[in-house]
């Protein structure tokens, strides 16, 4: 306390100097302490894990693979020939049917009334015909006795012919009504399998509206979609090999049977049907298939193919990362044609080169890397 009193009794000027010196010492000390706490610690280098591939030998088969679906060669889209309300559906999706089976039925009440009406018209016309025939016979006798003129006889002959025509007309209308009543039942015209159902009981359908699709028994084929720039190559294909996703151990050869003359308006691709030369009995409708197309005249290529993910673009130059002794180096390459498996490399790679196939945009020249398990350098 006495020290503080003596400190306050110093002259004002000396007091200011003492406070200023203390403040400077405080700031300098705080700065030193702050720098000591915030001094950057040494950063450990993060060695990235990469996927790699080894460039194999040349002369590997080249081609394109198209995904497709197993379809029947003959597919019928069935529809009613008359308008009406569906009252019964006798089949389900995938049902096996025989020719002549009733698949669907529409309400026949209005059609039955039409048949009843035309049947009554037939009876009326036949009655008029019998009357005309009786009158004709009577007036023929009177004409033979010279009791009437020829003009009167002609009138009754004409009336008889009109009655005959009326009977034929009424009979035709009755036959038409009977046919329409029979059209209320939708029959299977061929034996096969129901592949799609587009109408249900209670729905009102118009004449010609597709309600069922039936795949006829017989040949099976593959439907694929091909872009327009591959159509000619497909026409000249040396070999088509078909594999099935659900049947991995089965492969069969195929041939182009049909190419659609116009592109699909939505996908802008052409529908192509591939017939199976020796179809295995295990294939089912709707199975997923893959059609591998090998081009004619160039069934193999002397250039290696790498995944697109391995290409690293710098400006206008394509490159790949080469792994040597766990270190990556950038090497320029020349790109050829593109395919399903990747891209052809015309120059810049040698057999047994190890390249990075994933994560190429996160690497830098001379960086150390770790190779993922299962890959080899």
pLDDT, tens digit (0-9, with 9 covering 90-100), for 184-210? 999 998 888 998 899 999 999 999 999
User: Between 374 and 52, where is the model more confident?
Assistant: 52
> Once rounded to an integer, what is the mean pLDDT over residues 275-304?
77
The burial of 287, by beta-carbon neighbours within 10 Å (0-12 exposed, 13-18 middle, 19 or more buried), is given as middle
* Mean pLDDT rounded to a whole number for the chain: 83
Question: Helix, strand or coil for residue 125?
Answer: helix
pLDDT digits (tens, 9 = 90+) for 107-138: 999 999 999 999 999 999 999 999 999 999 99
- CB-neighbour burial class of residue 367 (10 A; exposed 0-12, middle 13-18, buried 19+): middle
For residue 133 the two structure tokens come to: 């025939």
- Check if 50-60+302-371 and 63-72+219-298 are the same fold: no
Q: Which of 317, 305, 306 is nearest to 358 (CA)?
A: 306
Residue 42: predicted pLDDT: 46
Share of the chain above pLDDT 70, in %: 82
List, in order, residues 6 or more apart from 263 with CB less than 8 Å away.
Answer: 228, 269, 270
Task: Determine the CATH number of domain 109-182.
Answer: 1.10.287.470
> 75-107+184-215: what fold?
OB fold (Dihydrolipoamide Acetyltransferase, E2P) (2.40.50)
Position 269 pLDDT exceeds 60: yes
Structure tokens at 265: 């308006």
Angle between helices 109-144 and 150-182 (to 10 degrees): 160
Q: Is 2 exposed, middle or buried (0-12, 13-18, 19+ CB in 10 A)?
A: exposed
Residue spans of the domains in the chain: they are: 50-60+302-371, 63-72+219-298, 75-107+184-215, 109-182
What's the confidence (pLDDT) of residue 6?
52
Rounded to whole angstroms, the Cα distance separating 211 from 79 reads 5
Of 227, 217, 356, 234, the C-alpha closest to 295 is: 234
Spatial separation of the C-alpha atoms in residues 269 and 231, rounded to whole Å: 10
Give the pLDDT band (50/70/90) at residue 293: confident
What average pLDDT does the segment 249-271 reach?
90
* 57 pLDDT above the threshold of 70: no
Among 83-97, 164-178, 275-289, the least confident range? 275-289
Question: What residues are paired with 196 via a beta bridge?
Answer: 213
Segment among 22-36, 142-156, 164-178, 259-273 with least mean pLDDT: 22-36
Q: Are 134 and 128 in contact (CB under 8 A)?
A: no
Examine the pLDDT at 89 and tell me if it is beyond 90. Answer: yes
CATH number of 50-60+302-371: 2.40.420.20
Q: Are strands 305-306 and 343-347 parallel, antiparallel or unpaired?
A: antiparallel
- Could you tell me the two tokens for 161? 């012919």
User: CB count, 10 Å around CB of 47?
Assistant: 11
77: tokens are: 């889209």
Q: What is the CA radius of gyration of the chain?
A: 46
Structure confidence at residue 5 (pLDDT):
45
Q: Label residue 7 by pLDDT band (50, 70, 90).
A: very low
Q: Which of 77-86, 320-329, 355-364 has the highest mean pLDDT?
A: 77-86
Alpha helix stretches (DSSP H) within the chain? 2-8, 12-37, 109-144, 150-182, 231-235
CATH architecture of 63-72+219-298: Beta Barrel (2.40)
Q: Is 50 exceeded by the pLDDT of residue 26?
A: yes
Average pLDDT, integer, range 274-280? 86
CA–CA gap between residue 308 and residue 318 (Å, rounded) = 11
The pLDDT value recorded for residue 17 is 62
3-state secondary structure of 199: coil
268 pLDDT above the threshold of 80: yes
**pLDDT (0 to 100) of residue 113:** 93
pTM over 0.75: no
């Amino acid at each position: 306390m006495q020290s503080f009193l003596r400190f306050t009794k110093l002259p004002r000027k000396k007091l200011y100097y003492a406070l200023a010196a203390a403040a400077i010492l405080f700031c300098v000390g705080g700065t030193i302490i702050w720098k000591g706490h915030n001094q950057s610690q040494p950063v450990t280098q993060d060695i990235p894990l990469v996927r790699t591939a080894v460039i194999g030998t040349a002369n590997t088969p080249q081609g394109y693979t198209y995904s497709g679906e197993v379809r029947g060669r003959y597919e019928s889209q069935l529809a009613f020939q008359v308008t009406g309300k569906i009252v019964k559906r006798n089949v389900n999706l995938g049902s096996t049917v025989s020719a002549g089976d009733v698949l669907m039925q529409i309400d026949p009440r209005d059609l039955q009334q039409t048949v009843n009406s035309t049947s009554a018209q037939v009876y009326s016309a036949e009655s008029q015909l019998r009357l005309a025939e009786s009158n004709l016979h009577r007036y023929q006798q009177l004409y033979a006795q010279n009791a009437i003129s020829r003009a009167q006889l002609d009138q009754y002959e004409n009336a008889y012919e009109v009655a005959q025509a009326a009977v034929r007309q009424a009979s035709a209308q009755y036959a038409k009504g009977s046919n329409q009543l029979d059209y209320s039942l939708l029959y299977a015209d061929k034996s096969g399998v129901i592949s799609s159902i587009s109408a249900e009981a209670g729905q009102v359908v118009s004449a010609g509206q597709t309600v069922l699709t039936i795949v006829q028994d017989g040949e099976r084929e593959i439907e694929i979609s091909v872009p327009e720039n591959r159509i000619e190559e497909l026409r000249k294909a040396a070999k088509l090999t078909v594999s099935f996703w659900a049947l991995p151990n089965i492969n069969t050869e195929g041939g182009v049977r049909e190419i659609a003359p116009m592109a699909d308006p939505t996908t802008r691709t052409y529908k192509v049907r591939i017939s199976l030369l020796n179809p295995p009995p295990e294939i089912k409708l709707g199975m997923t298939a893959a059609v591998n197309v090998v081009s004619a005249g160039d069934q193999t290529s002397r250039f290696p193919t790498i995944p697109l993910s391995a290409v690293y673009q710098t400006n206008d130059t394509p490159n790949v990362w080469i792994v040597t002794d766990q270190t990556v180096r950038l090497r320029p390459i020349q790109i050829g044609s593109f395919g399903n498996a990747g891209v052809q490399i015309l120059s810049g790679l040698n057999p047994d080169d190890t390249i990075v196939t994933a994560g190429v945009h996160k690497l830098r020249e001379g960086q150390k890397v770790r190779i993922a398990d299962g890959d080899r350098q």
